């Protein structure tokens, strides 16, 4: 089962449980739009594969952002 939700925060500070997660970031919609596609060469962040549920959710969210 997969559960998905969108959330907003008033406090962008968060703590990382280093035993569970190695790294974490907050990104704005503007920043995500600059990411490379999966498999592109370069040092930029990459979006998930186009056929993945993660990519579908990101694209859906981005459509609603200014």
In a domain, 8, yes or no: no
Task: State residue 1's pLDDT score.
Answer: 66
In a domain, 45, yes or no: yes
Q: How many beta carbons lie within 10 A of that of residue 47, not counting itself?
A: 19
Range of the domain at 46: 29-63
pTM for the full predicted model: 0.76
In a domain, 40, yes or no: yes
In a domain, 47, yes or no: yes
Tens-digit pLDDT string for the chain (66 aa):
667 777 788 888 878 888 988 888 888 999 999 999 999 998 999 999 999 999 999 999 999 999
Reading the block at residue 32, the tokens are 């995500």
In a domain, 37, yes or no: yes
In a domain, 46, yes or no: yes
What phi and psi values does residue 36 have, to the nearest 5 degrees? -75, 160
């Amino acid at each position: 089962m997969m559960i998905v939700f969108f959330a907003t925060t008033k406090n962008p500070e968060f703590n990382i449980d280093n035993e569970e997660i190695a790294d974490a970031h907050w990104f704005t919609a503007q920043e995500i739009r600059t990411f490379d596609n999966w498999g592109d060469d370069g040092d930029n962040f990459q979006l998930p594969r186009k056929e993945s549920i993660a990519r579908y959710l990101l694209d859906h969210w981005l459509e609603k952002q200014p």
